[in-house]
């Protein structure tokens, strides 16, 4: 039974995972190369935003079950939860995984279990992790046990989903998978399925690719809806009444550490077999430019100010990784617009266009552009910004504002995927 666990990487997945184990009877040592993050965590301060994390971190630190530093320690099991981004050329950058694996080699002992949680291209355990682990003096599969158990959680609901969601575990052999299952049974209530490592890697990438393809379909339907003068949000809602239909929602693009990244793993590994996947990626990556073009059409003059609401990729979190909002802003600036952005969940110095309030963003602006459906924006009233604006235009790309109320207040209102209402009055 695992009594001591070492978690490498204390970001959006690693820290909640470490805290979860620590609060379920496993002594955890967390490791991160970011000295500032380590200092904050040790002082019970958060460097990321997640519902329920603060109180769980307080409990883990106060109980002594969680310690943190920049260096690994000996343990019964190791979890690697580090980034697996893509490069400029859309190929996988697995250096974080390789370096994290290499960092634990001096601390390994006979019988250790090493688990990769990062979402990675299929064959990463086999081609990246095992060569590093073989540099130890232990025989892989007999003295060291290795598996892949990808996270399946969404920001904002991480703790609920860590506990309730099913888990896929892929071991390099049966014993590796069984040992991993026994560890996660400390808190996982959902079903745990066992397979081999490469299958587990593919399953996680497939799950995120399915969502990316579905969103691309929704974005394409939004463009078709505008062409046909149909409100695509209503059409999707009606279509989803069908018991075998689940169309996702359109938007200004796709962000986050998974959906905007993982499909490229399959394009890289099997370019001739991934035509739909590749086209979906291009469709979703093209939405920020589509939105910026619409802004130009609606405003009519690029020498104007746009108030952008939302920098994170998802509602009510601070995560800006791969956020389409950043690409929209870049496209607007390239067209000559001045941009002032506001996001109540993102630290003030995270982006150069940031200001400290919605009212400041709206001061002298021609348009309010909503890119993230934070609760604060859903509750926004026209009177908060109307008097400060140079012209009253609002463009909602997330269908989160009561646009009829804004129209009554004298605004020209525009909705992504509903060109019927996007006419100048």
As annotated, the active-site residues are: 204, 258
How does DSSP classify residue 86?
Answer: B
Per the CB < 8 A criterion, the answer to whether 176 and 145 are in contact is: yes
State the residue for tokens 């904002």. Answer: 156
Here the contacts of 174-182 (C-beta below 8 Å, separation 24 or greater) are 175/141, 175/145, 176/113, 176/141, 176/145, 176/146, 176/147, 177/147, 179/77, 179/113, 179/145, 179/147, 180/113, 180/115, 180/147, 180/149, 182/1, 182/2
CA neighbor of 420 nearest in space, from 204, 233, 188, 289: 233
Per the CB < 8 A criterion, the answer to whether 216 and 279 are in contact is: yes
Per the CB < 8 A criterion, the answer to whether 302 and 308 are in contact is: no
| Cα 74 to Cα 61: distance, rounded to the nearest angstrom | 19
CA neighbor of 206 nearest in space, from 151, 155, 265: 265
Q: Which two tokens stand for residue 327?
A: 């690409």
Per the CB < 8 A criterion, the answer to whether 394 and 421 are in contact is: no
Give the CA-trace dihedral at 354, 358, 359, 362, to 10 degrees.
Answer: 70
Strands (E), 42-191: 66-69, 77-80, 113-116, 145-148, 167-171
In the chain, the largest separation of any two C-alpha atoms, in whole Å, equals: 75
């Amino acid at each position: 039974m695992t009594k001591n666990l070492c978690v490498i990487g204390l970001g959006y997945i690693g820290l909640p995972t470490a805290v979860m184990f620590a609060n379920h009877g496993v002594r955890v040592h967390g490791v991160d190369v970011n000295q500032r993050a380590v200092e904050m965590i040790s002082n019970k301060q958060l460097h990321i935003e997640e519902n329920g994390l603060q109180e769980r971190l307080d409990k883990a630190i106060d109980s002594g079950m969680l310690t943190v530093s920049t260096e690994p320690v000996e343990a019964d099991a190791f979890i690697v939860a580090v980034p697996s981004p893509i490069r400029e050329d859309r190929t996988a950058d697995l250096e974080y995984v390789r370096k994290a694996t290499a960092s634990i080699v001096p601390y390994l002992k006979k019988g250790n279990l090493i688990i990769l949680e990062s979402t990675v291209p299929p064959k990463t355990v086999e081609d990246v992790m095992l060569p590093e682990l073989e540099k130890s003096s232990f025989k892989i599969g007999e003295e060291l046990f290795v598996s892949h158990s990808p996270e399946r959680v969404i920001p904002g609901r991480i703790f609920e989903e860590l506990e309730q969601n099913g888990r896929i575990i892929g071991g390099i052999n049966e014993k590796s998978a069984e040992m991993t299952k026994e560890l996660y049974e400390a808190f996982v209530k959902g079903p745990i399925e066992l397979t081999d490592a490469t299958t587990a890697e593919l399953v996680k990438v497939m799950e995120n690719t399915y969502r990316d393809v579905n969103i691309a379909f929704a974005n394409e339907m939004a463009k078709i809806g505008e062409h046909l003068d149909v409100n695509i949000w209503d059409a999707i809602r009606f279509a989803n009444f069908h018991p075998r239909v689940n169309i996702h929602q359109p938007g200004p693009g796709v962000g986050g550490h998974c959906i905007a990244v993982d499909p490229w793993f399959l394009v890289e590994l099997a370019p001739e077999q991934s035509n739909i996947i590749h086209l979906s990626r291009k469709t979703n990556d093209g939405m920020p430019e589509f939105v910026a073009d619409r802004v130009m059409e609606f405003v009519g003059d690029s020498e104007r100010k746009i108030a952008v609401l939302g920098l994170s990729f998802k509602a009510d979190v601070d995560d800006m990784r791969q956020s389409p909002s950043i690409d929209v802003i870049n496209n607007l600036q390239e067209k000559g617009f001045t941009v002032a952005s506001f996001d109540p969940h993102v630290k003030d110095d995270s982006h150069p266009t940031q200001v400290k309030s919605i009212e400041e963003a709206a001061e002298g602006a021609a348009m309010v552009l909503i890119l993230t459906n934070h609760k604060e924006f859903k509750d926004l009233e026209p009177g908060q910004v109307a008097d400060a604006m140079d012209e009253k235009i609002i463009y909602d790309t997330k269908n989160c504002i009561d646009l009829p109320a804004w129209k009554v207040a004298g605004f020209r209102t525009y909705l992504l995927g509903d060109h019927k209402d996007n006419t100048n009055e």
